[in-house]
Chain A
Amino acid sequence: MHKIISILILTVMFFSCGKKEVAVNKSGAQINGAGATFPYPIYSKWFNEYAKLNKDAKINYQSIGSGGGIKQITEGTVDFGASDSPMSDEEIEKANSKNNNSIIHIPTVIGSVVLIYNMPGTEGNLKLSGDVIAGIYKGVIKKWNDPKIKAENPGINLPDKEIIVCSRTDGSGTTYVFTDYLGKVDPEWKSRIGVAKDVKFPVGQGGKGNEGVTGLVKQLEYSIGYVELVYALQNKLKYAEIKNAEGEYVLPTLESLTLAADNSISEMPDDLRISITNSKGKNSYPISSFTYILIFKDQKDEFKGKTMKAFLEWALTTGESFAQDLGYAPLPKSVSAKALDKVNSIKIQ
Chain B
Amino acid sequence: MFLDSSDSIEKFGLDFIFSRNWDPVREEFGALTFIYGTIVSSFLALLISLPISIGVAVFLSEIVHKSVRTSLSFLIEILAAIPSIIYGFWGIFVLAPFMRTTIQPFLQSVFGFLPFFQGTMYGTGLLTASIILAIMITPIITAITRDVLKAIPVSQKEAAYALGATKWEGIKMALLNARSGILGGAVLGLGRAIGETMAVTMVIGNKAQIKASLFEPAYTMASVIANEFAEASGGLQVSSLIEVGLILFGVTFIVNSMARLLIYSVTRKA
Bound Cα distance from A195 to B233, whole angstroms: 13
Bound Cα distance from A64 to B231, whole angstroms: 8
Cβ A198 vs Cβ B24 within 8 A: yes
A194 at the interface (CB under 8 A from B): yes
- Please report the total number of B residues contacting A with Cβ < 8 Å: 32
Cβ B122 vs Cβ A171 within 8 A: no
B217 at the interface (CB under 8 A from A): yes
Specify which chain B residues have a CB less than 8 angstroms from the CB of A220 in the assembled complex: 96, 100, 122-124
Specify which chain B residues have a CB less than 8 angstroms from the CB of A332 in the assembled complex: none
B22 at the interface (CB under 8 A from A): yes
Bound Cα distance from A200 to B97, whole angstroms: 26
Given that A198-B24, A199-B25, A200-B23 are contacting pairs, would A206 and B231 also be in contact in the complex, using a CB cutoff of 8 Å?
A: no
Bound Cα distance from A215 to B90, whole angstroms: 11
Given that A196-B24, A198-B24 are contacting pairs, would A205 and B206 also be in contact in the complex, using a CB cutoff of 8 Å?
A: yes
Cβ A171 vs Cβ B233 within 8 A: yes
Cβ B231 vs Cβ A68 within 8 A: yes
Bound Cα distance from A318 to B46, whole angstroms: 58
Bound Cα distance from A65 to B231, whole angstroms: 6
Bound Cα distance from A205 to B120, whole angstroms: 12
B232 at the interface (CB under 8 A from A): yes
Specify which chain A residues have a CB less than 8 angstroms from the CB of B124 in the assembled complex: 205, 216, 219-220
Bound Cα distance from A170 to B237, whole angstroms: 13
Q: Which of B100, B208, B233 is in CB contact (< 8 Å) with A196?
A: B233
Bound Cα distance from A68 to B223, whole angstroms: 18
Bound Cα distance from A220 to B217, whole angstroms: 13
Specify which chain A residues have a CB less than 8 angstroms from the CB of B227 in the assembled complex: 169-171, 206, 208
Specify which chain A residues have a CB less than 8 angstroms from the CB of B26 in the assembled complex: 194
Specify which chain B residues have a CB less than 8 angstroms from the CB of A196 in the assembled complex: 24-25, 233
Distance in angstroms from B204 CB to nearest chain A CB is 8
Distance in angstroms from B233 CB to nearest chain A CB is 6
B201 at the interface (CB under 8 A from A): yes
Cβ A200 vs Cβ B122 within 8 A: no
Distance in angstroms from B200 CB to nearest chain A CB is 11
B189 at the interface (CB under 8 A from A): no
A135 at the interface (CB under 8 A from B): no
Bound Cα distance from A106 to B124, whole angstroms: 40
Cβ A204 vs Cβ B207 within 8 A: yes
- Interface residues on chain A, size class: 20 to 34
Bound Cα distance from A164 to B205, whole angstroms: 11
Specify which chain B residues have a CB less than 8 angstroms from the CB of A164 in the assembled complex: 120, 122
Q: Which of B92, B231, B233 is in CB contact (< 8 Å) with A170?
A: B231
Which A residue's beta carbon lies closest to that of B94?
A219
Distance in angstroms from A4 CB to nearest chain B CB is 40
Cβ A206 vs Cβ B24 within 8 A: no
Cβ B206 vs Cβ A169 within 8 A: yes
A193 at the interface (CB under 8 A from B): yes
A172 at the interface (CB under 8 A from B): yes
Q: Which of A65, A193, A208 is in CB contact (< 8 Å) with B25?
A: A193
A304 at the interface (CB under 8 A from B): no
Cβ A206 vs Cβ B96 within 8 A: no
Bound Cα distance from A184 to B208, whole angstroms: 26
Specify which chain A residues have a CB less than 8 angstroms from the CB of B205 in the assembled complex: 205-206
Specify which chain A residues have a CB less than 8 angstroms from the CB of B228 in the assembled complex: 170-171, 198
Bound Cα distance from A219 to B206, whole angstroms: 16
A258 at the interface (CB under 8 A from B): no
Cβ A172 vs Cβ B231 within 8 A: yes
Bound Cα distance from A169 to B227, whole angstroms: 7
Given that A205-B122, A219-B97, A220-B100 are contacting pairs, would A170 and B230 also be in contact in the complex, using a CB cutoff of 8 Å?
A: yes
- List 28 A-B residue pairs with CB atoms under 8 Å apart, sorted by A's residue number: A65-B230, A65-B231, A66-B231, A67-B231, A164-B120, A170-B228, A171-B232, A172-B231, A197-B231, A198-B228, A198-B233, A198-B237, A199-B25, A200-B23, A201-B207, A205-B205, A205-B217, A206-B206, A206-B217, A208-B202, A212-B202, A215-B92, A219-B93, A219-B97, A219-B123, A220-B100, A220-B122, A220-B124
